[in-house]
Amino acid sequence: MTEYQHIFEGVKKGARKLTGLSNDKVNQVLHNLAILAVENTYFLLEENQKDLDRMDQDNPMYDRLLLTEERIQNIAGEIIQVSALPSPLHHVLESKTLENGLSLEKTTVPLGVIGIIYEARPNVTFDVFTLALKSGNGLVLKGGSDADYSNRAIMSLIHQVLENNDLPTSAFQLLPADRAATKALLEAVGFVDVIIPRGSQGLINFVRENAKVPVIETGAGIVHTYVDESADLEKAKQIIFNAKTRRPSVCNSLDCLVIHESHLPVLNDLIQPMLESKVQVYADEKAYEALASRELISKADESHFGTEFLGLKLAIKTVANLDEALDHIEAYSSKHSEAIVAENQETIDRFLLEVDAAAVYANASTAFTDGAQFGLGAEIGISTQKLHARGPMALKELCSYKWIVRGNGQVRS
């Protein structure tokens, strides 16, 4: 790790200077960054194109890698949204005075230094910097080689804004896009407080299995929507179409439609909008028999269930009742986002209670699992685990707490 130790030391030292920043100063930096990003749209798109030129357009990651003028405008808007949020730091969560006169306050503080390992999503570079600065955390970024030109362009703008505001650029660093840097980050004990991987299940598994630093798992979404016997079918058609096709390359997109067998006679109509959008359907035996034989429809095998497609592909599972739906979801879910479309309130209540996932929906698209959509401004990732944080991780989730104890000479007997 010696090759990277000076970087980690610099981030840790620089991060100490962040906790004392005023909220006004932080917001000024974020506003400056939003303006600079829009002003440098051409530069960002030019660098992004270098990355795009190296990737097959049929690759599911291509859409995640792609920056457009509209997306840069949206990123700038999200930076402004985060700046408008209250600071998560220095809030007193609990206070009390003990019988011996000691005054105790439980106060929110930054996690410290956060390491982010991510794949071809350059917008993540903007998002995580925005949240890290607002929550007083230093940042070590390790992007993938697929987005290296884009990430370095974005980081150059971030450093420019920090320098213009007399803040330490050392607190926010992007490592080289090679495996040696990944290994160094995973072993940066004493320098990095937590690592958050964002990407495929393979990436998350690799980080979890090799990290010596604590890890919060995020990202992989194997998403189901169950259309119950009591469902409003027009409502169901709109929900599953949106969940599958809005942005099929993101982690909250629909992977498996779980359909009550009573709806098999209308299944053709239910999925017709998706077929018109060129969604490849893998149907189980009952669903396949119910669907008209045509292009884009084929029989499912076991490998299609429990797969995060990240593209225009969809599995269909037929069930006889809610219990079978719950069993299927339990067997294949990554515990990210799950949904039910139903009108029976008892069925809805059971689903919401029994499904184990970070976000559970009734009669809505899973496309809403997003920090900005949840009113959090942005997110550093969607946590699919249960320790520390779950669901979209935003400002509050990037904080820990410490006990501040004030005394007047007390000693313990």
Reply yes or no on whether the pLDDT at 381 is more than 90: no
Q: What is the model's pTM?
A: 0.85
1-10, 76-85, 122-131, 189-198: lowest mean pLDDT where? 1-10
pLDDT of residue 60: 75
Say yes or no to pLDDT of 14 above 90: yes
Model pLDDT for residues 173-202, shown as the tens digit of each residue: 999 998 899 999 999 999 999 999 987 778
Residue identified by tokens 């719950």 is 326
In the chain, residues under CATH classification 3.40.605.10 are 2-218+383-406
**Whole-number pLDDT of residue 198:** 86
- Nearest Cα residue to 185 out of 141, 125, 244: 141
The span from the CA of 238 to the CA of 72, in Å, is 28
Is a pLDDT exceeding 80 seen at residue 378? Answer: no
Is the pLDDT assigned to residue 403 strictly greater than 70?
Answer: yes
382-383 and 391-392 as β-strands: parallel, antiparallel, unpaired?
Answer: antiparallel
What is the arithmetic mean of pLDDT over 340-367?
Answer: 97
| Per-residue pLDDT at 130 exceeds 90 | yes
What are the angstrom distances between the C-alpha of 174 and each of 5, 27, 141, 169, 180? 14, 22, 5, 11, 14
pLDDT tens-digit map of 224-250: 999 999 999 999 999 999 999 998 988
Average pLDDT over residues 30-50: 98
Report the DSSP pairing between strands 399-406 and 103-110: antiparallel
pLDDT tier at 219, thresholds 50, 70, 90: low
Output the six-digit token pair for 120: 């071809």
Give me the CATH code for the 2-218+383-406 domain, please: 3.40.605.10
State percent of the chain over pLDDT 90. Answer: 83
* CATH 3.40.309.10 residue ranges for the chain: 223-368
Tokens describing residue 140 = 């070590």
* 104: three-class secondary structure by DSSP: strand
Mean of all residue pLDDT scores within the chain:
94
Class of the domain covering 223-368: alpha beta
DSSP letter at 136? T
* Predicted local confidence at residue 63, as pLDDT: 87
> What is the percent of the chain where pLDDT is above 70?
99
Separation between Cα atoms, residue 36 and residue 165, nearest integer Å: 13
